[in-house]
Structure formats: structure tokens, C-alpha cells
Chain A
Amino acid sequence: MINTLQNFVKRNRYKIAIFGLMASASLMCILLVAARIAYSDSGRYTGLVWNLFLAWIPFVLSYFAYAFSWKKPLLYFVLPVMVFLWLIFFPNAPYILTDLQHLAKESYNTPLWYDVIVMVWFSWTGLLLGLVSLYLMHDIVQRTFGRWVGWAFVLFVSGLSSFGVYLGRFVRFNSWDILNDPKEIVVSVLGLAIDPTKRLVAFTVLFTVFYLFVYLTLYSFAHLLQEQSAPPSKPA
């Protein structure tokens, strides 16, 4: 028993490490907001904690999906539901980036630089939660359907999630609206998609490209680590 557990931890130690890192980063974010409340007596930025919680949902879902993905029958039956749920909640993670715009509302009780640091902590934690969960899903898709499908999946998800961020930020939809009242949501989203405004197009495109850039950079950076750990055959 202990042996299996040991094996499990050893085999998944970096996944566990990332989980721990993200948990402590979230804790740090909450502490920073608590310090802000204690200092200024205003409840601003408590909404961020809720948004961070929402960003954790796709992260946890992807860990589950990943654990299930090694069992063949589960892969085919449970996974599509998981992926769908994940896709609905996924935009919450990059959404936190757009909370940076709250900096524009002046606050007189705390210095601006402190608010900048708080926002930086929150938005980067949210984005990293999203990137790691996207990577886990990417890995599942790649293993099951091959390399090209994997990258098509990443492209598709980044586009869709940027649209989701737009819907959350400007149309004020929530993830669970689609579970509560799917028909109305589908109709209004189709309406937006058929007749997009300039703002929608510009925002979605810029956000998608940004997201892809960060994902690709992290992905190649991770491989650079592998490249580096073995010294080059002939010294340059």
C-alpha cells in the first residue's frame, strides 16, 4: 500500500508540486487582499477572490480528467462530459487578466503600487491555472488522437475561451448560465456571432493571439529545459 503510494507520488511529483505552488500562490493572493482590507477598511477587490475560486474549477476538472484518461472505458464515456464542463468553466481562468481594468477606478485609501501588485498576483495566478489545465487537456487529446489534433484543440480552445472572456466581461454572462437557461444563451450568443461588433472582433483576436503566445512560449520554454539538461554534443 505504502509502496504504491510512494510510487504514485514519485511518478507524479511535478504535478503535485504545481498543485502545491498554485495553492500557495492563491493563498498569497488572499492574504494580500486581507491585508488590503485591514489597511483600508474597504471591501474592494474581494470580488477577485471569487474570480480566483472560479479559475480553480477548470484546473481541478483537468486534474480529474487527466487521472481518468489512463483508464480506457472511462476515457470514452466520462471524458466527453468532463471536457464539456471544462470548456464551460475554462474562460474563468484567463478572465482574471481583464480585472486589471479595475486599476482605472481610483481608490484613495491605498497607494496605487500596492493595488498593482495585488492585481499582478491575481491575474498571473489565474492565467497560470488556465495554462496548466490547458496543457493537461492538450496532453490527453494528443495521446488519444495525435499531434495535429492536439494543436488544433489548443487553437480552438484559445479562440473559444477568448470569446468566453468577452462574453463574461462585456455581456456579463456566467459559466452556469448555460446550465440554467441554455436556450436563451445559445440564441444570444449566435446573435453576437452572426453580427459581431468591431470591439468583439478586436478583443477576441488580440486575446486569442496573446493566449497562444503565452502558451507556446511556456511550452517551448519547458522543452528548452530538457534540451539544456543534456549538454550539446559538440560545444558551440
Chain B
Amino acid sequence: MKKLYEHLQPYKFRMTVFALLCGATLLSLILFRVRTLLSGSMDYAFLIWNIFLAWIPLGLAYTASVFSWKRRFLLFSMPLMAILWMLFFPNAPYILTDLQHLGYPKPDVPLWFDMLLLIWFAWTGLLLGVVSMFLMHDIVRRQFGRLAGWVFVFSAGILSSLGIYIGRFLRWNSWDMFFSPLERLHEFMYYASHPSMQAIIFISVFSTFFIFFYVTLYAFGLLLQEQAPRIQQEIKI
């Protein structure tokens, strides 16, 4: 028992984050269930599917981070992992755009309940995304250095906003890239060469948002580290 504890001790916070995200997902599902009981309707059922999709990139990032300590594995399967992760990553922040369903209020449930329900789902999705982004960021930083790490974060942030745009307005899915890649690429090239005003604004504002959010959480993490030495210093005095 003690040995198990010692083994798990260095991963304490990783497991806490995982448990918290599981708990939040569970609570979101319970809220949805309460809503169906209250209203007898299946509105918002798509949220469940979306939250499931939001878990995929975290699972991938977690697997990648476990294997990333083995050198041989890193060089061969990592690029593949990274591509898969990038394909599924936009699903996590995508849930934020589900907030637009508040724009079509449903009569059977009070508005504030739907608002809380959507806030729960949206925040869980966003935090799932942030944690998986951090795991990938960490792998890149260890291999290629600090600058490369931040370049990775910025490009993943922009690419994922592009992905969200594609999902929200063109209604494509992550796995379309497996079923009809050529066709999709073709279409994509067309849209990319004729970008609409809507696409430009959406992608730039959304990627700024995601990058801002990530950087703030990162700085918050470092702020906590900043505290520790000061406290020790105080105690000495």
C-alpha cells in the first residue's frame, strides 16, 4: 500500500486533474439527464456526443506523453500521433460554440438552467482541450526547446480555430479526413483560396481567445511556483 502511494506520489496532480475532468463530465451528464426528466424532450443530446469527442484528444495526448519517454518510440510513432491529435483536437474547444444554442430558447425549461448546463459542458470541453494541449506542448518543449514549444502552441491554436470553423460552418467531422481525404482537401483548397469575411473574423478572434486562455493558465501555474520560495524565505526570517 505504501509502495503504491510512493509510486503514485509524483503523478498526484496529473491524477487529480484527470479525476476532476471525469467528475465534471459526469456532472454535465447528470444535468442533461435532469433536463430530460424535467422537460421530457431530448434537446441538447448532441452535447453528449460532443463531450465524448472532446475526450479523444486528451486520451491521445496522454498516451503520447506516456510513450514520449522512450526514445525509439518517439521518433517513429510520434508524428503519426501528432497528426491524429491535431485532427481530433478542435473537438474540445468546439463545444464553446454550442453556446449559440442559447440563441434559440426552449420553452420547457427555464433559461438559467440551460445556461448552466451549457456552461458546464463548455468549460469541461475547453479545459479538456487545455490539458491535452499542455501535454503535447510539454513533449515538444522537451524535444526541441522552449521556442519550438510556443511555436507549436500558437500554430495548434490557429489550426484548431480553423478546425472549429470547418466543423461549425461547413459541418465536416474529424474522420472525414479518413473517409474522403482527397475530396476534402480539394474542397478545402477552394475555400482557403476564397476566404470569406466571416471565416477571417471567426478564426482570428477565436484563435486569439484560445491562445490567450492557454497563456493565462500557464502564467497562473508559474505564479504558484513563484509563491513557494518566498514562503520559505519568510519562515527563515
Contacts and interface: CB of A to CB of B under 8 A. Distances in A.
Given A21-B216, A111-B198, A114-B201, A15 B223 contact: yes
B219 A14 contact: yes
A221 B96 contact: no
A209 B16 CA distance: 16
A221 B131 contact: yes
Contacts of B217: 218, 221-222
Contacts of A219: 224
Interface stretch (A53-61, A118-126, A153-161, A180-188): A118-126
A143 B16 CA distance: 23
A128 B216 contact: yes
A17 B222 CA distance: 10
A58 to B, nearest CB: 16
Given A116-B97, A236-B66, A25 B223 contact: no
Number of chain A interface residues as a range: 35 or more
A172 interface: no
B212 A206 contact: no
A104 B142 CA distance: 46
B23 interface: yes
A221 B66 CA distance: 17
Contacts of B219: 14, 17-18, 21
B17 A210 contact: no
Main secondary structure of the interface of B (DSSP, over half): helix
A224 B134 contact: yes
A213 B205 contact: no
Contact of B209 (A112, A120, A206, A220): A120
B31 A206 contact: yes
B111 A15 contact: no
B52 to A, nearest CB: 19
B193 to A, nearest CB: 22
B111 A117 contact: no
A58 B180 CA distance: 52
B69 interface: yes
A229 to B, nearest CB: 8
Number of chain B interface residues as a range: 35 or more
B81 interface: no
Contacts of A221: 13, 17, 127, 130-131, 134, 217, 221
Interface centre among A12, A101, A143 (most CB of B within 10 A): A101
Interface in B74-112: 96-97, 99-100, 102-103, 105, 110-112
A33 interface: no
Interface string A10-30: 011111011001101100100
Contact of A22 (B23, B24, B27, B216): B216
A114 B97 CA distance: 10
Given A117-B209, A206-B116, 20 more contacts: A11-B230, A18-B216, A21-B212, A100-B115, A104-B111, A113-B168, A115-B103, A116-B96, A120-B99, A121-B205, A128-B213, A135-B223, A199-B112, A217-B21, A221-B130, A222-B223, A223-B13, A223-B224, A227-B11, A232-B10
